[in-house]
Chains A and B, each alone.
Chain A
Amino acid sequence: MSRGSGGGYDRHITIFSPEGRLFQVEYAFKAVKAAGVTSIGVRGKDSVCVVTQKKVPDKLLDPSSITHLFAVTKYLGLVATGTTADARTLVQQARNEAAEFRHKYGYEMPADTLARWIADKSQVYTQHAYMRPLGVVAMVLGIDDEVGPQLFKCDPAGHFFGHKATSAGLKEQEAINFLEKKMKNDPAFTYEETVQTAISALQSVLQEDLKANEIEVGVVVKGNPIFRALSTDEIDEHLTAISERD
């Protein structure tokens, strides 16, 4: 009689369960949700925008030290949703990798290459017992010279896809439903529409009106492909435009 569950370790390290599942990977996905933050990314005709919640759990905390938006290079942004410590290590490694790429090949690492590298590293953690998968979903954004605006999402299982719009975190599914409706006919959003779609998606799934200091917004735009975080004033302008529109 063969033993069912591999000695019961299939929940502790990334070996297969009897149904062919990897429990550790599934638990990593749960850890992403447990962080309690939702992020949204939208790709427009010539820009990409990401929005993420900025939850400051304690009034004594310095809010400027809390961020989920990271510049991997001047031109590539990364939103890390999930456990903050895992996010930090991922960003450190990604920054290192992108810098080495630039040095080795003489040109900037494209968004899809970075996404693939992150995904391949995540795959290694799902196959080797010595490292657990990271509890982070990473969204990579950038403007590609040949293809234009790019938005990639990488998950703890090692999957990565290009997206027209996507979400990660606690309210991921609700946000994706909202975005599917908005992006149904392949609209080619302008910069303003891209940012406002992203912000209003977040407002809709959180079911509350957001203030400028409760969210972080990062953009890359074709004419000036440097990744930057919007200031609270700029975020306020967009929030006002959204509330006037509705």
Chain B
Amino acid sequence: MGDSQYSFSLTTFSPSGKLVQIEHALTAVGSGQTSLGIKAANGVVIATEKKLPSILVDEASVQKIQILTPNIGVVYSGMGPDSRVLVRKSRKQAEQYHRLYKEAIPVTQLVRETAAVMQEFTQSGGVRPFGVSLLVAGFDDKGPQLYQVDPSGSYFSWKASAMGKNVSNAKTFLEKRYTDDMELDDAVHTAILTLKEGFEGQISGKNIEIGIIGADKQFRVLTPAEIEDYLQEVE
């Protein structure tokens, strides 16, 4: 990766040893819409705000939560167009793994490869880092897992995490509410309540997205009607 005309890295060390382009990328993430993920005992839930620039936008044409493999899903905070690139690359990597090993790619491996791509763009010539952080939710032989990947390419496994505009409030809220023996349904309720905390306006099935994966190992995005049901339970 790298463009021949720009055979030098655009992300370079500052005198104090910081990679400022990565810090700026994190700032871009921090001004993106809030998203969060919670790992339950029997599954994982990821959720995000879906605020569209106008009522004229057809919200059915927009889906922020994407499926990478049948048992792994992802949500982002930050620059949407950048996330599309990562989703496409990750899907291809998962497929290539499957072609080679005739087995579904484990969550950790897919996360590691996606993170490696993000790191490449902080070092290769002529490119800027990705302006997104990803929350990857998956369920494989090792059980339910939730990983957060940052623009630097570093990734960690989380019990619950949040990213974007309202990150500090959301994380404080999650810290209070999280229990190790949560069930997936409770996790969905907690996710909704966390989103509601910082939500401007009336929350509904049309302006948030929720993706879940349970013991059936099938990742799926909830329909607006299903989200409305959960919203009513939370009221």
Contacts and interface: CB of A to CB of B under 8 A. Distances in A.
Interface stretch (B2-10, B98-106, B137-145, B192-200): B2-10
Interface string A116-131: 1001101110111110
Interface string B8-27: 00110011101011001111
Contacts of B10: 6, 9, 13, 15, 129
A119 B85 CA distance: 11
Contact of B21 (A6, A166, A183): A6
Interface stretch (B125-133, B173-181, B211-219): B125-133
B131 A20 contact: yes
Given A119-B81, A123-B84, A161-B61, A16 B24 contact: yes
Contact of B24 (A20, A124, A152, A163): A20
Contact of A129 (B6, B27, B58, B62): B6
B128 A127 contact: yes
Interface stretch (B28-36, B38-46, B222-230): B28-36
Interface stretch (B49-57, B65-73, B182-190, B202-210): B49-57
Nearest to A4: B20
Interface string A1-42: 111001001000111111111100000000000000000000
A20 B20 contact: no
A16 B21 contact: yes
Contacts of A159: 80-81
Interface string A137-166: 000000000000000100001110111111
A17 B127 contact: no
Contacts of B56: 163-166, 176, 179-180, 183
Nearest to A19: B27
B126 A6 contact: no
A165 B130 CA distance: 31
A213 B80 CA distance: 39
A112 interface: yes
A161 B28 CA distance: 21
A104 interface: no
Given A2-B14, A130-B6, A17 B24 contact: yes
Contacts of A9: 10
A184 interface: yes
Interface string B142-174: 000000000000000000000000000000000
B82 A127 contact: yes
Counting chain A CB atoms within 10 Å of each CB, the highest count among B57, B81, B82, B127 belongs to: B81
Contact of B62 (A19, A161, A166): A161
B76 interface: no
B15 A16 contact: no
A19 B20 CA distance: 11
Given A15-B21, A16-B24, A163-B57, A129 B3 contact: yes
A25 to B, nearest CB: 10
Contacts of A165: 56
Contact of B57 (A2, A22, A129, A161): A161
Given A128-B3, A162-B57, A16 B81 contact: no
Contacts of B80: 158-159
A14 B3 CA distance: 14
B3 A20 contact: no
B128 A14 contact: yes
Given A3-B15, A163-B57, A130 B21 contact: no
Nearest to A129: B126
Counting chain A CB atoms within 10 Å of each CB, the highest count among B14, B15, B121 belongs to: B14
B62 A2 contact: no
Nearest to A183: B56
Contacts of A21: 28
Nearest first, the 10 A-B pairs at minimum CB distance are: A158-B81, A162-B61, A20-B28, A20-B27, A16-B24, A123-B81, A162-B58, A2-B14, A130-B3, A129-B126
28 contacts: A2-B20, A3-B15, A6-B21, A15-B11, A15-B24, A16-B24, A16-B27, A18-B27, A20-B25, A21-B28, A22-B128, A123-B81, A123-B85, A124-B85, A126-B81, A127-B82, A127-B121, A127-B127, A129-B126, A130-B3, A130-B5, A157-B81, A161-B61, A163-B56, A164-B57, A166-B54, A176-B56, A183-B56
